[in-house]
Chains A and B, each alone.
Chain A
Amino acid sequence: MSRIEFRINGHHLREHDASPATTVLDYLRDNLGLMGTKEGCAEGDCGACTVLLLDRRRSKTPRWLPVNSCLLPLAAIHGRDLVTIEGLGTGGAAHPAQQAAVATHASQCGYCTPGVVLTLAAAAHCSASEFATGQAEMLAGNLCRCTGYGPIRAALAEVAASDPDDSLKRLRALPELTVAQEPLEYCAGGVHCVIPVTWEQLWEAIEQHPNHSLVAGATDWILTSAAPFWEHVGGGSGQSSSPCMLSLERLPEFCQVRDRGETGWWIGAGVRVADLQETVGADVPAVARLLRYFGSAQIRNRGTIGGNLCTASPVGDLAPLLLALDAKVVLRSRRGDRMLLLNDFFRGYRRTALRPGEVLAAIELPRPRGDTRISPFKVCKRREVDIATLSCVVAVDVGADNVMRRARVAFGGMAPTPLRVAACERELEGKVFSASAFRRAAEATERELEPISDVRGSAWYRRRVAKNLVQAFHAEWETGEEPAWRADHPGTVALAPGAQREEK
């Protein structure tokens, strides 16, 4: 049997012919004729193609999560439930989110509207507390060039946490498709797809398909690595062995976070950024603060921690955070596990320590000590949904004597890989928590780093700001109290009110 099965708007569909690497966006429009889902950028930046994917993984009640269908390979919805704009109303009647959009005048041209409305509909099913703690940020992933967003925000306020008795509620109560628990081997359009449910199946598939690509959330993969799969459609590429998508999402424990108490967390590499926000973020405010600016809600609902680390982007928001918290990576192969400090995982521009046949299985994250002070910083051109010009996370343990025991200063966007700056850390460890120590550390940082100039900022700016961020950390924690970060802060640098530093 070789077919992909899923439910779209409650209809159980079986697909035999479409390539597993086809985007759900193209599939909806070209194969199913569901034209309500729009293509705006085909790179996950505009949200016009937003659809709702049912998440049965984390909470007791399944939740509808907005995701970008342009970044979603068809194989990723095998065994899953999906709702498009066409599935939102009930029997021709408009959904409350649609009614709110009409009442607030939330459409002008209407092209972004289906995506916006689906985001609103998902927000309708948030709890009041979820909404209060930042679900308003859901809208950052839906670009609109017409309205200026005021009416859309008004519509969101109207429907959020209203818990309507709607098609979403009805559809989420359907039992999960049985295929969701079974392994899949599928081949169409010259492209293979394997979804193993045991590690053994994974090792076999890796051996069987030398031309494979390891995929989890696929948000980056579909933009950067899926091209050969497209080339293969219709047999045009002339490659010797046909490509294979190897989806890791169903591996045991791959998508779980285990809270191990004082030791910290064991985080499966397939854990999505949104899950990390809700678990570790709930305990460590600095984590929540940084992840809130990680992509958009749509991206956070699909993008995984493992994927983010394995792309080894020089910028990556997560990497500096995990570096500063002394995270370790668990690398698994048929021969067993080995563990590395994350600091040793990045080996160069977009290169990691992963060996052939090896998979990033998990991350071990130690729990910050009670006396650890952590602040993350992200500097970008636009507050929301932007790749950082540079990012920085500082974490120091400060004893009762006000002396810093352990200091970690990690940067993204300053070198070919995310990295810790030992020279900066040396200026802090063993020193009293003071403006002068951080000034020296900041100067060491500026001396040490040699960033490049690109569209996101010049080398001059990066170095200058990197230096400032080290000092900003001190200003934030000067009183020893956890900084009261403003909810609407630009997401660049938060400074304690009245803090002043000298400029050189």
Chain B
Amino acid sequence: MSTPIPPNWDTGADSLDRIDSYQVVGRNETRVDALKLAQGRGSFTDDIDLPGMLHLKMLWSPHAHARIRSIDTSAAEAMPGVVMVLHHGNVSRIPYTTAGQGHPEPSPYDQFIFPRKVRFVGDRVACVAAESAVQAARALAKIRVEYEVLEPVLDPHDALRPGAPVIHDEPEAFGLPDYDKAHNIAAAMHVEHGDVDAAFAEADLVLEREYSVPYQHHATAEPHIAITWLDEDQRLVVRVATQVPFHSRRILARILDFPLHRIRVVKPRVGGGFGGKQEILLEDLPALVTLRSGRPARLCLTRAEELASSRTRHPQILSWKTGVMRDGTLVAQELRVLANTGAYGAHALTVQTCTAGKTLPLYKARAYRFDMKTVYTNLPVAGAFRGYGGPQGFVAMECHMDEVAEKLGLDPLEFRRRNLIGPGHDNALAQALGEGKEGPPQRIRSCAIQECIDRGKAAIGWDRRDRLRSTGPIRRGIGMSCLMHGSGIPGVDMGSAHVKLNEDGSFNLHVGATDIGTGSDTILSQIAAETLAVPLEKVVIYSSDTDHTPFDTGAYASSTTFVSGAAVKKACEGVARQLREAAAEMWRVEGDPCTPEDLHLERGAVRRPDGRSLSYGEICLSTFYTHDQHQIMDHGSHMTFECPPPFAAHFAEVEVDTETGAIRVLRYVAAVDCGVPIHPQSCEGQTEGGVCTSLGYALSEDFIFNDAGRLLNDTYEDYKIPTALDVPEFETILVRSYEPAGPYGAKSVSEIPTDGPGPTIANAVAHALGIRFRSLPLTPEKVRKAWLKKEEARQRETEA
């Protein structure tokens, strides 16, 4: 596949001075939804009650791996209030992926509405629709299922064992060329750049270490939920907590075999997504019930169902190998990943390619090798999760960089500086690691990683590092990591916007982009207001409704500001041009002609160089009712082959209680280069929130299974995400840069913060204890055990 080489733009450093002239962009405007949320008026999916609504409850598989021999639903159907019971015997069997990606999805088509063989504890078996949730729940107990229990695969290594049970033995499942279901391989990839073996042979030091990272759950405040009904035209309305309304419509039309034009997907307020709501996880079932019964239907997961049966971050085992010269110059890097996608292969390829794509190119080397296998197991299903492979990869790479620096006797920070990618450099692996196909080449333009390090280093007090307490039961340490992410999926993600003018000089902005709490409604409004030279309140945004807004791929891949924002800017530039033309026409009719090119927009009016002006309201009234009658409106779509990475340097100071192994993070500094921050407070919020999520990943979050593959900690009582009092003193430093490919110089900011805490905390703990942990989470028990082992070794040494 041929892709255009991006022009060799300059780094954009000169363009920073433009920022100060912005009126709306770069300012902490009050978020468009802030007040209604604080007043509890934000209308989430579940905040409606429809007359005659049916309530759905799920029967989940109690077995990790079993064939369903028979299902008898007659007793359940006879229960009071039960309207129907859905299962594999009475729904269509069309293979698909729940991954919620663009068409064609790079994830294997290995799912059906209901499987005939269940593949994890929590897989779909049947669904009861009843007049009330209590009645539906009671009927579940009456469904008789006969299972042929099969040997489960509960470890990714076992999945590859010769003769291992084949998890996807159904003939219909298919995927990309490397898909190999007969060997439980959901995705695989091998990439080499440069002469890897020669580079390793030349290196003064070759170090290889293995790291492992656990399951993590999104733990969104709002669980997955969908409510469906038929409108007065018998069209199916799907009100769903989703990040991808347009993908949802496309996939529903296909698996329900129902015309796409008769489906409307509406995204109301969403209580957090983080990738978990990129999945088309449950809306198919209420939709089916509505289509068959004609009645509204609701399915909402409980917290335990959410934890056990929705989606998770892919656990991985990563082997990192580095070849380095004595002076600290990297020459070769090799990453091998064994990832566990659980029972289904949603995002099995692309999360893992991002594990390499976001990490490896950060440090320049002559040669790179990446080898990856994502395997099926009979465990909960992995999928998209904020960071998308980055948090896994950076744990390995950034711990490894510290280990290499230590071997070489170099300051870990200076060692990194020597090898970091910079402005004007090419991303060596961009083409090899595309989204299921060859990717477009990438050249770095804006890059302030060195300044991120400088400022983060000063803020944490890196120079105190050698003087921290290293005796007694409480030990302190400081660690850091360098990070890089992306902005959208180049050549794939597309966003669009529509803008029209109203008589009071306000504008309706319709976008397909999906605000799931990210603040994109505010940010896109700011971009519109800036382009149209009006205050923020003159932009009325409406988003994410497949009937009423233009297309957008959705809220994922750190794309909304960068991709959808550029679409908004294009649409508004078109409207700005029309405003100038209309004003010129009005002045011409008045006998005072001018050329549109001489006019400019300022404070809600089109102005002439001599200061005379026509307000947008006057122009709108004229074009609606008086002269040259038309609606001033335009639309814009944006797709780009660019994917400018944001950069960051994270620093943490920790205290470790060696008696119990408890780690306390005292201070965290995140210095981030996200280009021009459209809304600085939002960028800080994204950073702090992303860090907080990954503090949980580093310290307390994990899935614990029994021998039969059943999740044991499926409640918030035992699955611990951080509380307000667990988070440390926090400082976000927004390091300014200007990205020429982004709207008003912006790059992404949402995912990169999740990449940092894993390695940063692990490095700080290593500094505090002199113990290198290569697996997360760093639970008190794990730390305590390692400390004891170290003390015992020391004691043996002393005795000897």
Contacts and interface: CB of A to CB of B under 8 A. Distances in A.
Interface of A: 30, 33, 35-43, 45-46, 48, 84-86, 88-89, 94, 97-99, 101-103, 105-114, 117, 136-137, 139-153, 230-231, 233-234, 236, 379, 381-387, 389, 455-458, 460-461, 464-465, 468, 472, 490, 492-493, 495, 497-501, 503
27 contacts: A33-B49, A41-B715, A42-B303, A99-B38, A105-B28, A105-B681, A107-B33, A108-B272, A110-B37, A110-B38, A111-B222, A113-B40, A140-B725, A145-B221, A145-B272, A147-B692, A236-B134, A383-B664, A384-B724, A460-B785, A461-B784, A465-B659, A492-B657, A492-B780, A495-B473, A501-B473, A503-B795
A43 B39 CA distance: 24
B184 interface: no
B1 to A, nearest CB: 38
B42 interface: yes
B725 A383 contact: yes
Contact of A85 (B40, B134, B471, B720): B40
B198 interface: no
Given A85-B40, A101-B37, 20 more contacts: A35-B43, A38-B221, A38-B222, A45-B716, A105-B34, A107-B34, A109-B220, A139-B724, A142-B724, A146-B689, A147-B689, A148-B685, A149-B692, A379-B662, A381-B700, A381-B720, A472-B659, A495-B473, A503-B791, A503-B792
Contact of A37 (B40, B303, B474, B692): B40
A43 B715 contact: yes
Contact of B302 (A42, A88, A386, A455): A42
Contacts of A457: 781
Contact of A384 (B220, B270, B689, B723): B723
B660 interface: yes
Contacts of A144: 221, 724
Interface string B295-323: 00000001100000000000000000000
A246 B418 CA distance: 72
Contacts of B693: 145
Interface stretch (B513-521, B631-639, B641-649): B513-521
B148 interface: no
Contacts of B212: none
Contact of B723 (A103, A109, A143, A151): A143
A382 B40 contact: no
Interface string B267-278: 001111110000
A113 B39 CA distance: 8
A382 B693 CA distance: 14
Contact of B788 (A37, A145, A464): A464
Interface string B701-727: 000100000001101111011111111
Contacts of A107: 31, 33-34, 37-38, 517
Nearest to A114: B40
Given A234-B135, A503-B795, A492 B662 contact: yes
Contacts of A37: 40
A455 B718 contact: yes
Nearest to B517: A109
A148 B34 contact: no
Given A94-B38, A149-B692, A465-B784, A140 B473 contact: no
A108 B135 contact: no
Nearest to B79: A236
Contact of B37 (A113, A460, A500): A113
Interface string B774-800: 000001110011001001100100000
A109 B272 contact: yes
A46 B47 contact: no
A117 B471 CA distance: 43
A105 B724 contact: no
Nearest to A137: B725
Contacts of A382: 700, 720, 722-723, 726
A379 B661 CA distance: 10
Contact of B44 (A33, A38, A85, A499): A38
B688 A147 contact: yes
A109 B221 contact: yes
A43 B780 contact: no
B80 interface: yes
B222 A109 contact: yes
Nearest to A139: B724
B30 interface: yes
Interface centre among B138, B270, B781 (most CB of A within 10 A): B781
A46 B660 contact: no
A37 B223 CA distance: 15
A40 B303 contact: yes
B38 A101 contact: yes
A36 B791 contact: no
Contacts of A233: 134
Given A98-B39, A146-B272, A503-B795, A385 B692 contact: no
Given A36-B41, A108-B517, A497-B472, A148 B691 contact: yes
A149 B724 contact: yes
B720 to A, nearest CB: 4
Contact of B785 (A384, A461, A493): A461
B91 to A, nearest CB: 28
A102 B692 contact: no
A458 B781 contact: yes
B730 interface: yes
Given A102-B30, A105-B682, A117-B38, A493 B517 contact: no
B35 interface: yes
B447 interface: no
Contacts of A152: 724
B532 interface: no
A144 B517 CA distance: 12
A41 B303 contact: yes
Contacts of B746: none
A38 B40 CA distance: 9
Nearest to A106: B38
Nearest to B41: A36
B697 to A, nearest CB: 12
B785 A490 contact: no
B517 A146 contact: yes
A498 to B, nearest CB: 6
A379 B725 contact: no
Contacts of A384: 723-726
Contacts of B54: none
Contacts of B132: 234
Contact of B272 (A84, A111, A464): A111
Contacts of B303: 40-43, 46
Contact of A139 (B219, B720, B725, B785): B725
Given A148-B691, A455-B712, A492-B780, A113 B44 contact: no
Contacts of A146: 221, 272, 517, 685, 689
A141 B664 CA distance: 19
Given A36-B41, A148-B730, A379-B660, A101 B34 contact: yes
Interface centre among B31, B273, B724 (most CB of A within 10 A): B724
Interface string B249-271: 00000000000000000000111
Nearest to A119: B724
Nearest to A104: B681
